Amino acid sequence: MQNSDPKFRTLPSPTVGQNWCVEVVWPDGKTELLSGFADQYAALEWIRTKSANWIVDRIMQGPN
């Protein structure tokens, strides 16, 4: 059975002036980049405390 949860990781932002991002990799291979985190700790804290609700919101919105 395939895990249907997206995977999260932090990485430095590819955009100058933005410090850190969270990359979301969905089970189908699609990715999303969430930017605007002041540092890696802030990105990790978002994953820890807010990513579960974010997933629910994204699923409720349906396909883009």
Q: What is the reported pTM?
A: 0.82
Domain contains 2? no
Residue range(s) defining the domain that contains residue 57: 7-61
What is the chain's pLDDT, residue by residue, as a tens digit (64 residues)? Answer: 456 789 999 999 877 666 999 999 999 999 999 998 999 999 999 999 999 999 999 888 876 5
3-state secondary structure 9-59: EEEECCCCCCCEEEEEECCCCCEEEEEEECCHHHHHHHHHHHHHHHHHHHH
The predicted structure's pLDDT at residue 2: 56
Domain contains 43? yes
Domain contains 15? yes
The predicted structure's pLDDT at residue 38: 92
Q: Cα separation of 3 and 9, whole Å? A: 17
Domain contains 1? no
The predicted structure's pLDDT at residue 9: 96
- For the record, the structure tokens of 38 come out as 């002041």
Please tell me the total count of domains within the chain: 1
